[in-house]
Amino acid sequence: MDSERYAVVINHEEQHSIWPADQEPPAGWRAEGFVGDRQQCLDHIETVWTDMRPLSAR
């Protein structure tokens, strides 16, 4: 079982990813607010990121 904690991060194009929760997100990304283990974060992203196109392409 993965015990590492991750944060869901989002960029200006509203694309989602995960990042180790104990680290600052990389430049251009910000914490979305959800933290959990890897699978919980991926499940959350699958639920909230329903339009995979970058914001500029919508």
Q: pTM, whole model, 2 decimals?
A: 0.86
Kindly list the domain boundaries of the chain, sorted by start residue.
6-52
Q: Which amino acid is at 48?
A: V
Give the pLDDT confidence score for residue 54 in this predicted structure.
76
Question: Which strand ranges, in their side-by-side order, compose the sheet holding 6-11?
Answer: 16-20, 6-11, 29-36
Residues 6-52, CATH architecture:
Alpha-Beta Complex (3.90)
Give the pLDDT confidence score for residue 36 in this predicted structure.
98
- Where residue 57 falls among pLDDT bands split at 50, 70, 90? confident
pLDDT tens profile 3-52: 799 999 999 999 999 999 999 999 999 999 999 999 999 999 999 998 87
Give the pLDDT confidence score for residue 2 in this predicted structure.
62
Please choose, from the candidates 38, 44, 40, the residue with its C-alpha nearest in 3D space to the C-alpha of residue 2. Answer: 38
| CA–CA gap between residue 24 and residue 46 (Å, rounded) | 23
Q: Largest Cα–Cα distance in the chain?
A: 37
